[in-house]
Homo-oligomer: A and B are copies of this chain.
Amino acid sequence: MKELIKLVDEYLDRYMEIAYPEDIFKAMKYTLMLPGKRLRPVMCLETARILGADIKKLLPSACALEMLHVQSLIHDDLPCMDNDDFRRGKPSNHKVFGEANAVLAGDALLTYAPQLIIEKSTELSSTQILRIIHEYTKFAGAYGLIAGQVVDIESEGGKLTKSAKETLDFIHLNKTAVLFRLAVRMGAIGAGADDDTIEEFDNFAKKFGLAFQIYDDIMDEISSFEELGKTVGKDKNSGKLTYVSLYGLEEAKRKFRFLIKECYDIIEKYRSQVFTEILDKLSSRIDD
């Protein structure tokens, strides 16, 4: 796990060169290089590895995933969105570079991510690259990540066009699970896996993503600023729709444990130390 994170950090730094005009590249790189768990790239690389591929093949896709994730964080933190001054324990992008540069840095990451995949995936076939880019566009846009963000924002304003439960499921699936799904799908496609295997990993990622978001909802309820590195209690204070607010803390914990158990079951046969470590770490902080 640590080795994979180190590898991702090394390649993120290498792939993100500072060119003219420096301000935009610096803004892109600032949030990108803040220490993070690199969960999405790690899951992409590990999926490829356990399906028999050399992980080097997937490094551009893995780094692109982190760029896409960071893009969504930068735009999410903007004053007109969640208005968060901190991210990963540091001032958020617009606090350092200004709002205009933060908007443009997000746009630039959204475009650079597929550019990187096309230019650096020298060991993937054109067909694999095109399929990976296609998945990227589907999951990153209005049919994926952005749909999740929009419904999330609307639900905060109390505007629901579906039931609260359906709305929450939609948000969790599209705002959070979507990038884990994209991660394992990219890894599986890069490893040349068949459709059944891709769907198996997709199913794992959906459950993992839901568990991850419920974990986040629970943590927002019970943690401190120091632990999370971002403003806490925001969800509660803003009356936001969360698993905890809708089902209560105990039911949230029960659902979380159930999903994590399902994840262990799906992934067991691959004997993946990394996936086991990810599941262990996530579940260790939610007590019974």
Contact = CB atoms under 8 A, between A and B. Distances in A.
A244 B111 CA distance: 32
Contacts of A147: 20-21, 24
Interface in A115-140: 115, 118-119, 126-127, 129-130, 133-134, 137-138, 140
Oligomer: number of copies = 2
A175 to B, nearest CB: 12
A142 B100 contact: no
A126 B130 contact: yes
A146 B81 contact: no
A133 B117 CA distance: 11
Interface residues of A, number: 49
B118 A141 contact: no
A149 B104 contact: yes
A258 to B, nearest CB: 27
Tell me whether chain A's interface is mostly helix, strand or loop, or mixed: helix
B108 A80 contact: no
A279 interface: no
Contact of A126 (B21, B81, B111, B127): B127
Contacts of A19: 142-143
A193 interface: no
A118 B137 contact: yes
A238 interface: no
Interface in A123-175: 126-127, 129-130, 133-134, 137-138, 140-143, 146-147, 149-151, 153-154, 161
A140 B140 CA distance: 16
A150 B23 contact: yes
A74 B134 CA distance: 24
Interface string A17-45: 00111111100100000000000000000
The 5 A-B residue pairs whose C-beta atoms are closest, nearest first, are A111-B141, A80-B99, A115-B137, A108-B142, A24-B150
